[in-house]
């Protein structure tokens, strides 16, 4: 069997979006709606255990019971989340968020080697589009055959449904692909779908173990910025290249 495709997560994997992107956007949306809420970095790290922005808001309201003049409906939560998304996209346009180390290089190398590319994420399609077009140009989305994003499946990560959806749309088996993730819920999602997974630790996932990952690294690496191995077999590679991914893939077959 040969490696046929790479499937990327987005938040924390393609780009470090959480602290300077989503977290700040949530707090600015709360201020816009006159809500006396503030999520600090520690609280947000806890809330990241819930996948999906609207779901995260609902979880926060249920667990922390913030003071509200009137109860918030699901439509109210969706409106807050929509405003937060607008703010987040503006931050991308302002250049506050960029691709992580090695991501653009690996995307280009994968395409040069005829590897198919997909995305499996819980963030919205609008967020994905903004990140890719800001970093890779107007044709950034075209690099990816399938964008599995937002509410296209009923259950978000750690459910495997988003990866199952992408695999089905690409007409691939899990054994044909490698997933690239950064978080525990994302890793649980990809592995539950049967995918071999490379993990690049991000700002909120530095302490997770990721047992069973093909390899755990600090990032994908560049020629002048080699990756640091956190967990995995020793290697002479200093960047996550197509050759390195094929070696990892073949070791499990």
Q: Return d(Cα 204, Cα 183) in angstroms, integer.
A: 8
In Å, what is the CA distance from 127 to each residue of 38, 66, 87, 233, 247? 22, 27, 10, 35, 32
Catalytic (active site) residue 11: yes
Distance of CA 178 to the CA centre of its chain: 14
Query: Which position among 11, 20, 218, 224 bears the catalytic label?
Result: 11
CB of 197 closer than 8 Å to CB of 176: no
Two structure tokens written together for 141:
């989305």
Catalytic (active site) residue 164: no
Query: Which position among 9, 86, 139, 151 bears the catalytic label?
Result: 9
Q: With DSSP H G I counted as helix, E B as strand and the rest as coil, what are the percentages for the chain, rounded to 5?
A: 45, 15, 45
Give the residue numbers marked as catalytic. Answer: 9, 11
């Amino acid at each position: 069997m040969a490696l046929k495709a790479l499937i990327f997560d987005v938040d924390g994997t393609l780009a470090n979006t959480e602290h300077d992107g989503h977290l700040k956007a949530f707090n600015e949306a709360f201020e816009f709606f006159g809500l006396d809420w503030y999520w600090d970095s520690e609280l947000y790290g806890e809330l990241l255990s819930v996948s999906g922005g609207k779901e995260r808001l609902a979880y926060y309201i249920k667990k922390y019971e913030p003071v509200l003049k009137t109860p918030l409906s699901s439509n109210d939560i969706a409106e807050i989340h929509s405003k937060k998304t607008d703010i987040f996209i503006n931050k991308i346009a302002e250049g506050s968020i960029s691709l992580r180390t090695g991501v653009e290089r690996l995307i280009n190398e994968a395409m040069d080697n005829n590897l198919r590319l997909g995305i499996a994420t819980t963030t919205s399609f609008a967020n994905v589009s903004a990140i890719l077009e800001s970093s890779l140009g107007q044709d950034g989305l075209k690099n990816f055959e399938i964008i599995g994003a937002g509410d296209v499946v009923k259950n978000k990560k750690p459910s495997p449904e988003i990866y199952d959806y992408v695999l089905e749309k690409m007409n691939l088996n899990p054994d044909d692909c490698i997933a690239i993730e950064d978080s525990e819920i994302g890793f649980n999602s990809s592995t539950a779908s049967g995918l071999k997974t490379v993990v690049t630790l991000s700002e909120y996932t530095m302490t997770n173990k990721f047992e069973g990952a093909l390899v755990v690294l600090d990032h994908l690496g560049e020629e002048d910025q080699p990756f640091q191995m956190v967990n995995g077999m020793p290697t002479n590679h200093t960047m996550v290249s197509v050759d390195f991914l094929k070696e990892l893939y073949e070791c499990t077959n």
